[in-house]
Amino acid sequence: MSSSLAIGPGRRIVCIGLGAMGAPIAARLLKHGHDVHVWNRTREKAEPLERLGARVLPSLSALCDLDIEFVFTNVSDSAALRSVVEGEAGLLRVLAPGTTVIDNASVSPEAACEVAKALAVHRVNFLDAPVTGGTTGATAGTLTVMVGGDPGILSRCEPLFRAFATAIHHVGPVGSGQACKLCHQVAASCAMLGLCEGLALAAKAGLPLRPVLDVLSSGSVGSTMVRVQGAKIVARDHSPGFRVDLMRKDLITAHGFSETLQLPLPGSELASMLLSSLSGKGGGDLGWQALIREYEERAGFSLVPESRTPPSHS
C-alpha cells in the first residue's frame, strides 16, 4: 500500500487498553504527532502516557464530548472486546457515524465479526488488525499487522499503522486478520517446541549452547524465534515479553477455531498442554520462552547459562 494515501498528522485518536502492547502503540501514535486520548480500567497504567502528552479519559462515556476519528482497542480477550464495544457504557453508545474502530488485540474471528456487525448498524467502521512482533517491536515501531476488513478503510488507516508497524498485510474481510493471527500463533508454538527440544538435547549432550544456537540461527531453521527466544533460553532469561498465559489464551482460541473446521492441530495442542502445565506451577506471567522448564523438569536437569560449565553427559 502506498504512503501517498496519508491522512495527515494530528488525527484525533482514542487508545483503549494500555497493557504490554496497547501502551507502546499509544506512545508511538503520540510520537507521530497525533492527538491521543487514552483509557484503561486501571488509571495508573495511563499515567506514563499522560506524561508524554496523552489525555486520560475518566470513562468511555466521555467520548460523547469529543470529535474522535479513530479508536484503537488492545484488550485482553474476546469478552473484553465485546464489553468495550457493546457494554452498558460501550463504544456503541458514544461513537459518531464515520468513526473507525481498529482492534489490535488477539480475539476470536467470530468475536471480530460480531463486533463489526454491531458497529455497522451505527455506521461505525471496523478493522480487525492483530499484531505480532512483541513489546520490543511495538516500542521500536516495527510490528507486523494482519488486517481484516474493507481495503478502502485500511487505506485511510495505513498512515496510523505506520506509526508502529513496518509490515501491513490485508488478508481478507473482517475476521480474516484474527484468523491469520491464530495461524501465526499455531506456527510459533510449534517453532518454540522445536527450539526448546533442540536446546534441551544439546544441553543433555554436554554441547556448548552458544555455538549450538549460532548453528541453529545460521542453518535452515534460522528465524527471529531462534535468534531472539533462543538467546533468552541460553541465558536462562525467563522475564516476560510475551507471557505464557497470553500464548495459552491464543492457542485455546486457535483450537476452538480449528474444531469448527474439523482440523486437528497435534503440534500446537502439545505446546498448549506444556504451557498449561507451566502456568499451573506459577509460571503464567513468565515469558513463554520459559517453556524450556518443562523439558528440564521431565528430564531431571537444569539448563546452565553459557557463562557456566556446560552439563556433562548423563
Q: Is there a single domain that holds both residue 212 and residue 166?
A: no
Residue 181 annotated in active site:
yes
Q: Is there a single domain that holds both residue 160 and residue 229?
A: no
Q: Is there a single domain that holds both residue 165 and residue 188?
A: no
Q: Is there a single domain that holds both residue 24 and residue 164?
A: yes
- Give the chain's domain count: 2
Q: Is there a single domain that holds both residue 155 and residue 250?
A: no
Q: 174-206 b/e with 16+ CB inside 10 Å = b?
A: bbbbbbbbbebbbebbbbbbebbebbbebbbee
Residues 6+ apart with CB under 8 A from 152: none
pLDDT score at 305: 74
Of residues 288, 289, 267, the one with CA closest to residue 200: 289
pLDDT score at 304: 81
Tell me: the pLDDT tens digits for 27-78?
999 999 999 999 999 999 999 999 999 999 999 999 998 999 999 999 999 9
Q: Is there a single domain that holds both residue 119 and residue 218?
A: no
Q: Which of 31, 45, 117, 181 is catalytic?
A: 181
Q: What angle do CA 77, 162, 171 make, to 5 degrees?
A: 60
Of residues 90, 167, 91, the one with CA closest to residue 130: 167
pLDDT score at 5: 34
CATH number at residue 284: 1.10.1040.10
> How confident is the model over 217-227, as a mean pLDDT?
96
- The yes-or-no verdict on residue 173 having pLDDT over 50 is yes
Banded pLDDT at 4 (limits 50, 70, 90): very low
Residue 136 lies in a domain: yes
Tell me: the pLDDT tens digits for 107-166?
999 999 999 999 999 999 999 999 999 899 999 999 999 999 999 999 999 999 999 999
3-class DSSP assignment, residue 103: strand
Residue 64 lies in a domain: yes
Q: Is there a single domain that holds both residue 95 and residue 201?
A: no
Residue 152 lies in a domain: yes
Helix, strand, coil percentages for the chain (3-state, nearest 5): 55, 15, 35
CATH number at residue 62: 3.40.50.720
pTM of the model: 0.91
Residue 278 lies in a domain: yes
pLDDT score at 308: 41
> How confident is the model over 276-298, as a mean pLDDT?
97
Q: Is there a single domain that holds both residue 214 and residue 285?
A: yes
Q: Is there a single domain that holds both residue 186 and residue 169?
A: no
Tell me: the pLDDT tens digits for 233-244?
999 999 998 999
Residue that terminates a domain, selected from 126, 158, 173: 173
Q: Is there a single domain that holds both residue 187 and residue 150?
A: no
Give the DSSP letter string of 222-260: --HIIIIIHHHHHTT----SSBHHHHHHHHHHHHHHHHH
Q: 61-75 b/e with 16+ CB inside 10 Å = b?
A: ebbeebebbbbbbbb
Range of the domain at 185: 180-299
